[in-house]
Structure 1
Amino acid sequence: MFPTVDTEENIVQVAPQSNTSSPSKHAQRPDSSEGSKRHNNKESVTMLIKEMVFFAALALTTYGALHNSPSKISKHPKATKFFSSDSLVTDWHKGQLTNAHATINHVDLSFVMYYAPWDAESQYVRGQFEEAAMVLSDRVHFSAINCWNPGSECRMQHNKIPSWPILIAYTSTSRGVLYKGPRDAHSMVRFLELVMKPLERISTTEDLVQLLSICDAVAVGYTPITDTSRHYNTWYHAAVKIREFDFIGEVCFGVVTSEDLAVDLGVNSVPSARLMLWNDTKEYVLDESENTWNESSLINWVLENFSQPVGRIVPMWRKAFTFERYVDGSPLLILFTPLNPLYEQLPSYSLLREVAMEYYNCKHNETLNWTSELVKLQQVQRLMYQQKDFLKYCENFKFKQPIRKTNPLYRKEVVSHNNKYPWNNNTQQQKNQRGGMFSYLFKGGFDISKVVGSGEKSYLMSTLGLVEECSAPVMPAEKSFYDSYEQCQFTENEKHENEPLLEEEELRTTMLPFEDDPLSPENLIQDNVQHFCKLMRFANTWGPPVYPQRVTTNVSHIHGLACAQNSSLNMLAVDSVRNHHFAEFLGIDITSKKDKTAVVILDSKHESQYLLSEEYSAKSLRDFIHNFTYKNLKRSLRTLVDDAERTHYFGSDGEVEQMGIDEQTIHVVDLTTHSFRRLVRKPDMLTIVAVCGGLCSASTTRAALEAARLLAACGVPARPARLDALRHDLAWHYTAVTYPSIFVFSPHSEEGEMRYPPTARVSGSGLLALALRGLRAPQRMRVRLALCARHQSTKEKKTCLRDIREHITTVIGRNLKYWRRTENRELKDALLKRLQYLHRVSLELSLLHTTDLGNDQKELSLLDSLSKLSKHWDIDVSMLRNNIASPQKLTS
């Protein structure tokens, strides 16, 4: 301690006391010393308190200094490349947004992926993105930008991205088109193909009819080319931007730039737009106050008026699910089939669309004739498409080295490759009357008299000619098409190797030679064919084309059948490759179906579903809809597909090996619709089935297991089981009103299944009591003896044995009554034998005491008598034909 005032004064005061001896001084010292001591003690306490406060402050300061050091922050990891160094994707892994956009602005079309390297979805999309780049890298620039790296340019400008990755296509006009479709390579390629070719130029009426025959809807813009081309650019940008909402190309966009053709098609003023649907045609009316010729107004107009007979569902795994708008109480018809996004047409989907247009085309509809003719046109287009073999076409196509362009007078026939399989029908070359689709196009304002009266062979003439020929007398007549297939052959426009030149001499020219000019028409045609074949080979990796079964007989009509009932079918199409789990949840093993194609009708109002059992074809589909409308279909029972992938169901089907389970072990079996039937019909087996709305609770499962174990211990074969009613359908009389519902199936019960009271608490004893009602008398007494042995008090055991004795007395009296009433000698002898064993059991039961319950000799003798009684309990049914008593009473 530091020296204090007290210590110093004490040292000073001690020295004089030893040297003084004056009595007077010695007499005066006590008073002064007591005052000084009190003063010194007070100051000592004060100084001690100060010292304590000082040390406390010092300790707090030291503690704060040690624990208030600056927090340590770990540095973010160094940005690394997300894509490999040899990838076709340019990876801006440091988030260099300015450099990336500078590169993007110098190309016609680029596809950019904004990613976070730690995100699982980004890691999955990376492989699909690279696969798409391998297909389109020669036409589209692929870039990837790390927009998560802290401190990067992309992160600083876009720091509130809700989810990863973000895919955007940028055109040469720097307009970003957000990709919202599925994250697989095939769908990405389809989206980019639509962005690359957003418009189809309509030069003749043939082009318009061609679009009508393959598209769900056709949006046509009438924008003649002017000096500024402002209206055309607006229509072009609208066609590109709408791919954010229509990434599979359900709406085809066309443009008419010829004023003469626009006048022939009935257009009075330009710019103008029409949306041609399956049952109507909408016209975009310019209005100074509301509708103006701008991009947003045109897109909203198309989206608001677009309708289709069959909805193509592409689930995006978001809260706003696409099935929601179709679930309005009406039954749903769902077609599960591969919907390859890269094929120009999907015959399975096209067939459903034709049937839907026929189904909804009611007689009172103003556009009845238009829809009927459109059905014929689309059907012929589908049948034509089914005859094409793209892979074979690509294998046989000769990619020849072009000859040298030596003469400016060289002329060569220009062959259109819009239709890669032109189709000729010799029987219709001279047919030039106005009818069929021509008349309805004419009524809609289309002046096609020049086309009809020209007499020249054209695709439109041949197509509509076959419509008229194959539509009589029955339509749709696929059989007629195949019967006349020899007259409807497809030919390929292949260039001849030896084509004459007008002049043979070579002339000097400043033009590039043909083989050195990549943008020459011939080379562009070659490049287009090569690109087409590349897409077809890539599409085939998804799966080969799927075609409906060929129809060999005429089919029935379902014209206007939607108006025959109060409610009509909503028809949907779902891809069975990407979304096979939907079919599996409905109990459809889609992998075992031909071409992975199945049709199911869901009737939520009647809680039923119906599955098309025949192969998918024009006839089976129409018959299926017809039979459902008139209630001639048999209900299909939905059951979970056990071996399906990614169904998120982890139940047991009773066949898996489990630790500690052998033949003697009783375990709960998880049933399906099919195994339920097999189990409840199993002979000599009592089954306790708990039907639950989802997974059964532990208390319900435990109660069924306890009852089965006790029955098995008493020699009664029993098995507990459970069934998830949300995944497996049962017959109507097994449908549960409340969950859980428990059924007991006994092989000896004449009443069939017995149901546990829905209001009673589920317990093992309650289930055992219900099971006893379905057992024969010998088995019932054996189980009751085991129950008596389980009681703890002697009084309860006595009461239990008394009840058994009363029961055996009642059984003896009933059988004695039957013996007296019957006149059949064989039946009388059988009943007498039964009575003898009953009396023996009654005697041994009367000699049984409560202390004998267990393993006593008396109980073993009683059980042996019950076994002998069981062997003579059954009576031949043929003996009961002339008996008054019922079989139920004799076996109870």
Structure 2
Amino acid sequence: MSLLQLAAKEAKILSSTSHDSNDNAISESLDNNSSSCTSVSDNIEVGTGTDLFRDDGENLTITLRMLHFCRDLAIFCFVMVTYAALAKDPPKVSRAPVAYPFFPQTTILTDWYRGQISKAIENARSSDVAFIMFYAPWDAECQAARKEFQLAAEYMHERVKFAAVNCWQPQSECRTQYNKVYRWPVLIAYPPHGRGIQYNGPVTAFHIIQFLQKICNPIMRINNEYPKDFDDAYLIAELNTSPGSLAFAVFYTTALRYLEKDPQYRITFYVKPSNVSQPSLHLHLWNETLIFPISDLPWHPDEILKWIFDNLHQVTSWVLPSGSKSTTLSTNMQNGPTLILFTPRNPLRVRTDYYHMLQEIGQEYHNCEENIIVNIHSMNINSKRSDDLLQYRNLKSLCKLTQNISNRRIISYMNPVWSNSSSCPERKLKKDCELVIKKSINHFCSSLKMENCMEIVPTIMENEHICNSRTVNFPEVYSTSLLTGIHDPRSAENLQKLFQKEKCKQFRVAEKIQPASFEKANLNGTEINISGLACKTNKSLSLLAMDSLLHYYFAQKLGINLNNNTDKSAVVILNNKMESHYILQEPINGVSVREFILNFTKNYLNRSFESDITLNLTSTMHPIYKNPKQEKSKIVLNELNTHTFLPSVLKENEAVAVFYYSKQCSFCNGVAFIYLTVAKKLSYVKNLVFARIDGENNILPWEYTMETYPTILFFPTKWKSESRVFPSGIPITVPNLIGFILTNLDPGLKLQAIWSICRQTKFPEEKSSCYSTLLQETLLLINSILKDWRISNERHKQALLHKLRQLRQLHLLFAHSSQSHGKIQEYFNKLNSYTNSNGDYHGIQQKSRSRDEL
């Protein structure tokens, strides 16, 4: 319905309403004023309805005008926007920087520095195992990982294909697909089948090599023997391993995904081939064996991994801090005291003997019920450690013989001329020929050293074409591939040689990283039993191990220099609640660690005061010069540490002010300037020493440990137990700090401190006022000593008389020769030296009064 129709309808409705006289009068006046509406008023009854109709007509006109205006405005805006869109230049966007190779061109890996991720993955999938580094060229961690990635590629390039992709290049394929990566680099290994496995361990070459070796061989086969190649726990799956087995595929995928979720590799995966219809899975822990509930849970990698991590518990474990701010250590140490073993965890060596020693101790320590399973597990640890030592020695001797493989001579009996059995028709001739060749070879090998003889001919000759005539001509020693007659590089013999070669290669590299360390034999024969000790005390220890090659700085914070130890190992107990730690000083072995744990339980250990500050004791003095050319401007502060604190503050005949600060305290910097200003003003007081100490990094006895920083502690000359702390409610300013020190000084040193302040006053009025105060203090001190002299015995009167003489001379100098600094200093030295040799004033006064009272 249009607006006109609506208005007509309203007028018709209004015309049927009643009107009064007043309305007629108003309508008549309106009709007289407007002649254009006469015809309309004649046909419509005069009244209120006519007036409303007129008002509605005006509203209708305004509405129509507004509609036309809006339409025109919309058309105008559309035209202007269209014009602006056509006339405006395209946005000016800077071009992406030119991509450049991140890795050297001579490297063995492929660098897709333009971000071609599809080509990189396609090329990686063409090999059995591939390892790709997704990087950002500007990232510092990527730049640090570049060299490690190259070293890993040089070591593993024969088995793994290495590649790198620039995933930060703008408008590249990789950047378009993965634009929400918040940390670089991202390292992903691609096995032959399935999705990629991300590497989350330390970005070092040898840890990457360890990860890739486990990717190549995530599962080990086992028959009926007891496994020994594991660290904390192991998993045995008994299932059908025939080609196309779904159960084996699930278990294989589980082993690969486990490497992604646990960088410490605490669990070793074993498979036991069996012709069974339903797989079974056993998780062997230190005190129990758990069976996977296959009837309740589906046989799926996610379910298996969840079940493993929910049930995994152990008495010892490796701690792997992330290298950034994290709560890894606090989570492990918040439940109570913790024993930490710092020892190298060589990634190229399967097991660590010191860690297995800690496992053995931990199982004994937590063996509350003396379970048979625990004892069997402990015995297996002992046998495993013995086997490790034996294998290490054998491998060391074997690899030492084959370390110069390129310089060794290979002995061969093969004749370069091809001959058949007709060359030796007579069987007797054949036997004679074999005998002569054997004797010749034995004679030749006897002239060589054992390490120079690489290959020995077989004792049984299967071929009859050895000799081609009655006269045997022996060939010279030369290299040949016909020693075994097998040209297949994947034959059993060649694979065994390759396996041995790889073992020796890995052994030599592992020895370069860190030689293996084994527990020294117990020559004393003493045995300490800590069986079930964790259940008999409320100070139960958590046993952790930390790689000293990666996390040596944690040991340094505790005052342990691992470089001083050949095995780079140490044992420490941390009690976070008591804010103390204890360091094992004896050589590390099973007896010393057990005794260390037992002494801690019985509170026999002394708290260690070592920290990273105590590792470097060469610089204890830090002079701070305001003006090196002027001796009076030099300020020397003693930088104290754990070892020098008590000898310095408890030194007799010296008053010591100590400034406690922390490197994390920003307010300490402002207070340090005030402290230096006061030290400069009191620099002429000979027996007043100003020092400072880092209270956060230096471990002090409890009575000298401060909870807040900055804190100023003052030790008087004689009564060291009467030390005072600067009040916390008073602001630390130069006048307040000077007043605090003067209040706690002995009378003689107080007088010298006031003179030191007056000496450095520059303005004449202030200098005159300062010396007036000094004269008053001198008279007060003389008056006090005279009172003591009257009540003293004859023994102390001579000492007090000597002091009165020195004070009299000082008073005269202050009044008449205040610029005679040399003489004033001389009398102060005499006063202080006599005081130091005969005791302080208060002590003399107290002793004399007590004797008089007696």
Q: Decide: shared fold, TM above 0.5.
A: yes
Match of 2:361 among 350, 355, 360: 355
Of stretches 731-740 and 69-78 in structure 1, the one that deviates more from structure 2 is 69-78
How far does residue 271 in structure 1 lie from its aligned partner after superposition? 0.7
How far does residue 584 in structure 1 lie from its aligned partner after superposition? 1.6
CA contact (8 A) 2:134 2:184 kept: yes
Of stretches 177-186 and 239-248 in structure 1, the one that deviates more from structure 2 is 239-248
3-state SS in 1 of match to 2:486:
helix
Name 1:721's counterpart in structure 2.
691
How far does residue 513 in structure 1 lie from its aligned partner after superposition? 7.2
Name 1:381's counterpart in structure 2.
384
CA contact (8 A) 1:840 1:865 kept: no
Name 1:538's counterpart in structure 2.
509
CA contact (8 A) 1:178 1:244 kept: yes
Give me the whole-angstrom Cα distance separating, in 1, the residues matched to 2:804 and 2:483: 118
1:126 partnered with 2:126: no
Task: Give the residue type in structure 2 aligned to 1:301.
Answer: W
Gaps of 5+ in 1: 1-63, 263-268, 407-491, 645-650, 821-827
* CA separation of 1:272 and 1:402: change in aligned 2, threshold 3 A: farther
Match of 2:642 among 673, 683, 690: 673
Name 2:110's counterpart in structure 1.
90
Q: What are the Cα deviations for residues 499-546 of structure 1, in whole angstroms up to 9, with x where unaligned?
A: 544854479xxx997431111101000001111112222223322212
Task: Give the residue type in structure 1 aligned to 2:284.
Answer: M
* CA separation of 1:401 and 1:97: change in aligned 2, threshold 3 A: farther
* CA separation of 1:661 and 1:197: change in aligned 2, threshold 3 A: farther
* CA separation of 1:842 and 1:726: change in aligned 2, threshold 3 A: closer
Name 1:654's counterpart in structure 2.
621
Q: What are the Cα deviations for residues 825-849 of structure 1, in whole angstroms up to 9, with x where unaligned?
A: xxx2xx3433333443565577688
Task: Give the residue type in structure 1 aligned to 2:589.
Answer: S
Q: What are the Cα deviations for residues 323-380 of structure 1, in whole angstroms up to 9, with x where unaligned?
A: 2421324011111111111101111212112111111111x36xx2211221222123
* CA separation of 1:762 and 1:853: change in aligned 2, threshold 3 A: farther
Name 1:274's counterpart in structure 2.
282
- Figure out how many residues of one structure are paired with residues of the other and give that number: 699
3-state SS in 2 of match to 1:625:
helix
CA contact (8 A) 2:197 2:260 kept: yes
3-state SS in 2 of match to 1:712:
coil
Name 1:740's counterpart in structure 2.
710
Match of 2:251 among 211, 218, 235: 235
Of stretches 340-349 and 770-779 in structure 1, the one that deviates more from structure 2 is 770-779
Task: Give the residue type in structure 2 aligned to 1:873.
Answer: T
Match of 2:174 among 154, 168, 171: 154
1:136 partnered with 2:156: yes
3-state SS in 2 of match to 1:210:
coil
1:806 partnered with 2:780: yes
How far does residue 128 in structure 1 lie from its aligned partner after superposition? 0.6
Give me the whole-angstrom Cα distance separating, in 1, the residues matched to 2:101 and 2:307: 44
How far does residue 802 in structure 1 lie from its aligned partner after superposition? 3.4
TM-score where L is the length of structure 2:
0.74
1:339-350 matches, cutoff 5 A:
339-350=345-356
Name 1:44's counterpart in structure 2.
none
Name 1:855's counterpart in structure 2.
818
CA contact (8 A) 1:688 1:704 kept: no
1:556 partnered with 2:508: no
Q: What are the Cα deviations for residues 810-866 of structure 1, in whole angstroms up to 9, with x where unaligned?
A: 12222442225xxxxxxx2xx3433333443565577688xx387257x98776555
Name 1:333's counterpart in structure 2.
339
CA contact (8 A) 1:690 1:700 kept: no
Name 1:605's counterpart in structure 2.
577
Give me the whole-angstrom Cα distance separating, in 2, the residues matched to 1:653 and 1:777: 31
Task: Give the residue type in structure 2 aligned to 1:810.
Answer: S
Give me the whole-angstrom Cα distance separating, in 1, the residues matched to 2:807 and 2:118: 100
CA contact (8 A) 1:89 1:144 kept: yes
CA contact (8 A) 1:610 1:636 kept: yes
1:220 partnered with 2:236: yes
* CA separation of 1:513 and 1:279: change in aligned 2, threshold 3 A: same
Give me the whole-angstrom Cα distance separating, in 2, the residues matched to 1:882 and 1:711: 26
1:757 partnered with 2:706: no
CA contact (8 A) 1:110 1:171 kept: yes
Give me the whole-angstrom Cα distance separating, in 1, the residues matched to 2:176 and 2:458: 63
Name 1:818's counterpart in structure 2.
792
* CA separation of 1:597 and 1:542: change in aligned 2, threshold 3 A: same
CA contact (8 A) 1:187 1:248 kept: no
1:275-290 matches, cutoff 5 A:
275-288=283-296
Task: Give the residue type in structure 2 aligned to 1:784.
Answer: I
Task: Give the residue type in structure 2 aligned to 1:176.
Answer: G
1:885 partnered with 2:852: no
Give me the whole-angstrom Cα distance separating, in 2, the residues matched to 1:270 and 1:401: 54
Q: What are the Cα deviations for residues 210-256 of structure 1, in whole angstroms up to 9, with x where unaligned?
A: 34xx4310011111235631101110111111100223432100001
CA contact (8 A) 1:402 1:515 kept: no
Task: Give the residue type in structure 2 aligned to 1:90.
Answer: T
Q: What are the Cα deviations for residues 275-316 of structure 1, in whole angstroms up to 9, with x where unaligned?
A: 10111111101135xx11111111111122222222211222
Q: What are the Cα deviations for residues 792-812 of structure 1, in whole angstroms up to 9, with x where unaligned?
A: 397786566434422321122
CA contact (8 A) 2:614 2:642 kept: no
Percent of residue pairs identical: 29
* CA separation of 1:656 and 1:552: change in aligned 2, threshold 3 A: farther
Q: What are the Cα deviations for residues 717-766 of structure 1, in whole angstroms up to 9, with x where unaligned?
A: 43322222221110122122443332223444454644333443334444
How far does residue 577 in structure 1 lie from its aligned partner after superposition? 1.6
Give the CA RMSD over aligned residues: 3.9
Name 2:606's counterpart in structure 1.
634
Name 1:39's counterpart in structure 2.
none
Gaps of 5+ in 2: 1-83, 419-450, 467-481
Name 2:228's counterpart in structure 1.
210
Task: Give the residue type in structure 2 aligned to 1:394.
Answer: C
Task: Give the residue type in structure 1 aligned to 2:818.
Answer: N
How far does residue 706 in structure 1 lie from its aligned partner after superposition? 3.2
Give me the whole-angstrom Cα distance separating, in 2, the residues matched to 1:717 and 1:319: 46
Task: Give the residue type in structure 1 aligned to 2:593.
Answer: L
Give me the whole-angstrom Cα distance separating, in 2, the residues matched to 1:627 and 1:871: 49
Name 1:834's counterpart in structure 2.
799
* CA separation of 1:152 and 1:675: change in aligned 2, threshold 3 A: same
* CA separation of 1:499 and 1:889: change in aligned 2, threshold 3 A: farther
How far does residue 89 in structure 1 lie from its aligned partner after superposition? 0.5
TM-score where L is the length of structure 1:
0.71
Give me the whole-angstrom Cα distance separating, in 1, the residues matched to 2:728 and 2:411: 83
Task: Give the residue type in structure 1 aligned to 2:706.
Answer: A
Give me the whole-angstrom Cα distance separating, in 1, the residues matched to 2:627 and 2:804: 44
CA contact (8 A) 2:340 2:543 kept: yes
User: Which gives a bigger RCO, structure 1 or 2 (Cα 8 Å, sep 6+)?
Assistant: 1
* CA separation of 1:373 and 1:887: change in aligned 2, threshold 3 A: farther
CA contact (8 A) 1:224 1:258 kept: yes
* CA separation of 1:606 and 1:661: change in aligned 2, threshold 3 A: farther
Give me the whole-angstrom Cα distance separating, in 2, the residues matched to 1:889 and 1:652: 48
Of stretches 868-877 and 147-156 in structure 1, the one that deviates more from structure 2 is 868-877
CA contact (8 A) 1:125 1:183 kept: yes
